[in-house]
Structure 1
Amino acid sequence: MNITREQVDALNAIVTVAVTKEDYADKVQKVLADYRKNANIPGFRKGAVPMSLIQKQYGKAVLLDEVNKILQASLNDYLVEEKLDILGNPLPKVTEDFDWNKDDFTFEFELGLAPEFAVDLDAKSNVTKFDIVADDKMLDEQVERIQKQYGKMISQDKVEEDHTLRGTFSNEEKGIHNTTTITLDIFNDKKTAKKFVGKKVGDVVSLETKGLFDDDHKLMDYLKVSHDDVHGLDITVDFTIEEINAVEKAELNQELFDKLFGEGNVTSVEELKAKIKEDAEAQFAQQADQKFLNDVIESLIDNTKFDLPAVFLKKWIQTVGENPLSTEQAEEEYAKSEKGLRYQLIENKIIASNNLQIQFEDLKAHTAELIKKQMAQFGQLNPTDEEVDGIVARVLSNQEEVKRLSEQVMSEKMLSLFKEKIKAKSKKVNYQEFIKEMYGE
């Protein structure tokens, strides 16, 4: 057997595999001999079928199978030995007049090669790292929300401006059906709020979504529609009133503080606000980190320039699925996947250059931390190491979980590296300002 490579250009190559009779003859004969031992053909005793008959009946199929096995093994070994970084899989070149009746065969495979490029994390960037603060307005709103949440609900016959309503937003055409609790101050104008005043349980209030709230993103919460749908959404939704309640707010006293945070941990409104601020900003930091990570990724994709073997990849996409794709379909799939492929190559380069490979101990530690947090939510604040290790072992026995958790660990490693390396601008914002920055508004 002989394997040679022709370098078409920096991103494409053709590998030629020459298979001779010596490479496959013994293997084919061995398989046919096994067939002969077990063949049940009328007119012949088992094991006594003439080899010529076995050859005639099974010879071509066995030849094709054994040559294919040799091809796959030798090609894989060649790619490893030559350290070729390929994209997709080798594509066999179709030969119209290929003759399986010959003794020796020649096969050609097209290769798409990964490009050579460098990733400069130290370059100047236009990425912004947001620091989200819980401002006084938010803290006051959260305190009031807590007072209402732990207050006394008093059922009412008719709606008044300060009442809390439970009901369902619906629009059959858009598939909207979301049950939620609202207060009338959520609406963008008083005219909308007045539509509810005087209504009773069972009444339906029709509302126009355009300009319904001061921020269209609130439609995501109250109507449960996607972000892509909220902008410019101009439909009529019905709100069916199911409960009407007046809320007698809970007093801001030690009893409430103890109920919220445990006995003696918070003793004043100032400490309550400080605790709310701490918890809120910890959550905001996670959201800011995710945006920072996403923005860095987008910046790297935009600013790390390299070519891809696009023609090869489109041909490969046509063949890789269960059903072959047309040229047009492959073009569409390539357009959808190109950005993801580019980042995959960039990420691999960053991982190799900065030694970010995931160790099993990293995976175990990350999983253990997640489990401890989950156990704490259910009141198990001090689990033993044995308990945690047992759960970790069970979780990591599931390959799907291992894949999911590995992606989380790598995301954390990349985030830490980006925070260290990327020259990002810092900007302090409140949460509403961050939401506008998040969605480009």
Structure 2
Amino acid sequence: MEIALEKSTETNASLKIKLSKSDYQPEVDKKLKDYGRRASIKGFRPGKVPPSLIQKMYGRSVLVEEINELLKNTVNNYIRDNKLQVVGDPLPDREQADAIDWDSQSEFEFIYNLGLASDFEVNFDALPPVPAYEIQAGEAELNSTIEELKTRFSGHSHADESAEGDMIYGELKQDANGEGEPFETKTALPTKQIAADELAKFIGLKKGDTVTFDIQKAFPDEKSRGLATGLKAEEAAGLEGEFTFTVDDVTRNEPAEIGQDFFDKVLGKDAVENEEQFREKVLEIIRSNYAREATTLQRIDIEQVLLDTISISLPDEFLKNWLLETNEGKITEAEVEEQYDAFARSVKLQLIKNKIASENEINVSYEDVLNATRSMVREQFGFYGEDEQMNQSIDKIAQQYLMDEKGNNYMQMYNRMSDDKVIELIKSKLTLEPRTISVDEFKELVSARQPQA
């Protein structure tokens, strides 16, 4: 076997592999003998089929199968042993492969095109400082959160007459006027869904009142028309003309009142005993949530610093072709162009993180993954406390989760933990500058980091 790497540019190369008969024939012969022992062919006793017939029937397919397996292992081993920074997958030269005569050739040459990332170094000393955000959440955020909670845990009351935001119950009708079947149904009209130009007709209605309206003007889109009529959106799409609605009842959301019942609904039974404790606990939760969001924002900043400071060149045209080939029929050339910058960014970032993990011997064990999954199960299912039976249940759920989706769940947890460890290492190497910001400033920073359409 001969293997040669030829680099045409810093990021493009071809791997040429020449195979002689001695590289593949022993394994081919071994498999054909096995076929001969197991073959059941009419006219021959088991194990007595002539080798020439086995060769004629299976020779070519076994040869192709063996050489493909040999090539796959050879390419992968060469990349690993020579520590090539390959991006995408090796792409075989289809034209050269199609020209092979499997029936007459005994020596073969194959070419694989490789995309390589350029060499780079990670120098932590060269990375600029990164902000360590502390988001100042105070009375304003506390009050607005409590108002939102009061709305979320609101009750219902019956109103004497309708106002904006109410739900109006009654009978909706449309006469047939000699054409088709008349429409009639008991329904509820959500005033929030009514078009602004038509809303005035539905304000101030009392029980027994009737209002006439054009259904397409009052409910311009199919979804709102479906909600108003109780029909599927596609069925409601064809409704048009004047309808009448006779009011049976009007209900209104009433914000929850501050009190023990409200405290229990929000925080759990008897978690707090009075409004002061409730406000303290809610503010603690708000600040905890913002602390997590600050950590996420810092992570985004760290990743951007890595990309801005560490220069990596990619084989752009190779990767675009690779994306088209591997997603044949599922993605267009225009879509590849549109999405390529984001894809290239993720590739560079992963290369940097992989190098940091390798150079700093960052590893994630199965026990690490299992422990993290156990914690996730506890949080999702609300398992608190420690006892043997509960721990066994948690273990069973966690292990089943990691085996589900053909092992993809395990890989997702593994990658997440590895990524977290790399980020924590980077943070320990960087200068973190404390920076106190308001909630509004935080929202502006997050907005500025959103990808532009």
TM-score (norm 1): 0.70
1:429 paired with 2:438, answer yes
What aligned pairs does 1:126-145 form with structure 2 within 5 A after superposition?
128-144=131-147
Q: CA deviation at 1:280?
A: 1.1
Instruction: Please say if residues 148 and 247 of structure 1, whose CA atoms lie closer than 8 Å, have aligned partners that are also in contact.
Output: yes
Instruction: Please say if residues 303 and 349 of structure 2, whose CA atoms lie closer than 8 Å, have aligned partners that are also in contact.
Output: yes
- Secondary structure at the aligned position of 1:307 is classed as coil
1:395-434, Cα deviation, whole Å (9 max, x unpaired): 234233323333443454355345542545623212x553
Other-structure match for 1:157: 160
1:109-140, Cα deviation, whole Å (9 max, x unpaired): 22223322123455565865443333323323
Q: CA deviation at 1:277?
A: 0.9
Other-structure match for 1:416: 424
- Secondary structure at the aligned position of 1:109 is classed as strand
* Aligned mates of 2:339, 2:256 — CA distance in 1: 56
1:402 paired with 2:434, answer no
Identity of aligned residues (%): 27
1:244 paired with 2:251, answer yes
- Secondary structure at the aligned position of 1:358 is classed as coil
- Secondary structure at the aligned position of 1:396 is classed as helix
CA gap 1:197/1:132 in 2 versus in 1, 3 angstroms: farther
* Aligned mates of 2:32, 2:253 — CA distance in 1: 87
Instruction: Please say if residues 162 and 250 of structure 2, whose CA atoms lie closer than 8 Å, have aligned partners that are also in contact.
Output: no
Instruction: Please say if residues 372 and 383 of structure 1, whose CA atoms lie closer than 8 Å, have aligned partners that are also in contact.
Output: no
* Aligned mates of 1:17, 1:115 — CA distance in 2: 23
Instruction: Please say if residues 4 and 15 of structure 2, whose CA atoms lie closer than 8 Å, have aligned partners that are also in contact.
Output: yes
Other-structure match for 1:186: none
* Aligned mates of 2:338, 2:344 — CA distance in 1: 10
- Secondary structure at the aligned position of 2:90 is classed as strand
Instruction: Please say if residues 191 and 199 of structure 2, whose CA atoms lie closer than 8 Å, have aligned partners that are also in contact.
Output: no
* Aligned mates of 1:192, 1:407 — CA distance in 2: 53
Instruction: Please say if residues 319 and 325 of structure 1, whose CA atoms lie closer than 8 Å, have aligned partners that are also in contact.
Output: no
Other-structure match for 2:322: 316
- Secondary structure at the aligned position of 1:6 is classed as strand
Amino acid in structure 2 at the alignment position of 1:31 = K
Instruction: Please say if residues 35 and 54 of structure 2, whose CA atoms lie closer than 8 Å, have aligned partners that are also in contact.
Output: yes
What aligned pairs does 1:20-419 form with structure 2 within 5 A after superposition?
20-39=20-39, 47-93=47-93, 94-95=95-96, 97-100=99-102, 101-123=104-126, 125=128, 128-144=131-147, 153-159=156-162, 165=166, 197-199=203-205, 244-245=251-252, 247=254, 250=257, 252=258, 266=272, 268-321=274-327, 331=337, 334-335=340-341, 337-376=343-382, 381-384=384-387, 386-397=389-400, 398=403, 399-417=407-425, 419=427
Instruction: Please say if residues 18 and 107 of structure 1, whose CA atoms lie closer than 8 Å, have aligned partners that are also in contact.
Output: yes
Q: CA deviation at 1:289?
A: 2.0
* Aligned mates of 2:298, 2:267 — CA distance in 1: 32
* Aligned mates of 1:261, 1:329 — CA distance in 2: 47
Amino acid in structure 2 at the alignment position of 1:107 = F
Q: CA deviation at 1:282?
A: 1.0
CA gap 1:72/1:357 in 2 versus in 1, 3 angstroms: same
* Aligned mates of 2:332, 2:254 — CA distance in 1: 62
1:158-210, Cα deviation, whole Å (9 max, x unpaired): 2458xx64589xxxxxxxxxx9998xxxxxx9x999897525699899699xx
Amino acid in structure 1 at the alignment position of 2:438 = V
CA gap 1:289/1:20 in 2 versus in 1, 3 angstroms: same
In the alignment, structure 1 segments of 5+ residues that lack a partner are: 169-178, 183-188, 209-239
1:371-415, Cα deviation, whole Å (9 max, x unpaired): 333343xxx542425523542343234233323333443454355
Amino acid in structure 1 at the alignment position of 2:295 = D
* Aligned mates of 1:394, 1:350 — CA distance in 2: 33
Amino acid in structure 1 at the alignment position of 2:252 = N
* Aligned mates of 2:426, 2:294 — CA distance in 1: 13
In the alignment, structure 2 segments of 5+ residues that lack a partner are: 170-188, 221-244
CA gap 1:199/1:56 in 2 versus in 1, 3 angstroms: same
- Secondary structure at the aligned position of 1:14 is classed as strand
- Secondary structure at the aligned position of 1:88 is classed as coil
CA gap 1:86/1:255 in 2 versus in 1, 3 angstroms: closer
TM-score (norm 2): 0.68
User: Superposition RMSD on alpha carbons, in Å?
Assistant: 4.4
Instruction: Please say if residues 371 and 388 of structure 1, whose CA atoms lie closer than 8 Å, have aligned partners that are also in contact.
Output: no
Amino acid in structure 1 at the alignment position of 2:348 = R
CA gap 1:352/1:160 in 2 versus in 1, 3 angstroms: same
Q: CA deviation at 1:269?
A: 3.7
CA gap 1:269/1:194 in 2 versus in 1, 3 angstroms: farther
1:52-72, Cα deviation, whole Å (9 max, x unpaired): 344334333332222223222
* Aligned mates of 2:75, 2:420 — CA distance in 1: 37
- Secondary structure at the aligned position of 1:131 is classed as strand
Instruction: Please say if residues 378 and 394 of structure 2, whose CA atoms lie closer than 8 Å, have aligned partners that are also in contact.
Output: no
CA gap 1:381/1:54 in 2 versus in 1, 3 angstroms: closer
* Aligned mates of 1:165, 1:345 — CA distance in 2: 55
